[in-house]
Amino acid sequence: MNTIKQRKKELGNLRPKPTIDLQVLNRFWEEVLTAYADKPLHMMTQSEESPFPHMKVSKVSYHGYDETPIHAWYITRTDQSQDNPSPCIVTFPGYTGDRGFPERYAHWLMMGYSVFAVDVRGQGGETGNLMPLDSGVVKGWVSQGITDIHRTYYMAISMDAARAIDVAAQQPGVDPSKIAVVGGSQGGGLALMTGALNSKVAAIVADIPNMCRMDYGVLHSVSSLNEIAQYIKRYPEQLDQILEHLAYFDMLNLAPRIQVPVMVSVGWKDTVCMPETIYAAYNRIEAEKEIRDYPFSGHEVNEYQKREGMLFLERILNKV
């Protein structure tokens, strides 16, 4: 057995224990989701000019976790008929990123899909963040409210993402039974999170996802989870409390809640979302699933994988 095959076998057998009891986790999230079930979305839509003659763009805002307007694009082909609903791809950006320009998503329109592209609050996009800053944070966003599970940044972006699916399902021309979620890195983590929290999700493509085996990530990652490491470095007495809170947002623990087909990709040289974190979560998914290994890739999603994700969704959505 060569080294590559040996590494694949090791990752495939990687099964660290959950960091929270599943019944406790499920009870927590069912209480949260029930509390949000009747909360108004306050959705607002306005047409947006596009230089591309075959692309129709609307700017949509809605309320997720709190009163912060979360901004998104809803993009369709100009010949899209509301009488013939299409699948919809919901996307989230990587950490520090934004939803970008609508033409970023033209390939999905070429596949016959509509797109709902969502900002993440407070980062590089148009969306702000009205969460109260009750205590100090280290550089970045993810340590905000880290000692209060109901006011942590992870709670905010998780509920923003989960409610994005409800907004997408209400867009004209969308087939609500064919909503897929796609993202890379932070976006991949949020794609998995929405699949765990919102039953309207029909399929997931999570590339090099974050928010997996988060205690390992805090210890080893060089990116967003390192911000939490820096916070704990300043306040070491809060280590146990913070790790306990992170467990509620860790896809290692939430993976069994996913009940729809999933494709995950992983770069073995990734120092941001290490394969030890991604495989730990992937191995606990009980639904239909596929994984794509890239032994010589770091924290990146190459064109080959982008096509693989498109082909995966084409197969799955044609079955729905």
Active site residues: 185, 270, 299
Transcribe 23-72 into DSSP letters: HHHHHHHHHHHHHHTTS----EEEEE--S-TTEEEEEEEEESSSSPEEEE
Give the integer Cα–Cα distance in Å for 265 and 275. 9
Q: Which H helix or E strand runs over 91?
A: strand 86-92
Ligand-binding annotation for 105, yes or no, is no
Residue 35's φ and ψ, nearest 5 degrees, are: -65, -30
| Residue 245 one-letter amino acid | H
Q: How far apart are CA 247 and CA 211, in angstroms?
A: 10
d(CA 178, CA 169): 9
DSSP 8-state assignment for residue 258: -
The strands making up 69-77's β-sheet, listed across from edge to edge, are 44-48, 55-63, 69-77, 114-118, 86-92, 174-184, 201-207, 262-267, 289-294
**Six token digits for residue 250:** 């860790």
Binding residues for substrate: 95
Binding residues: 95
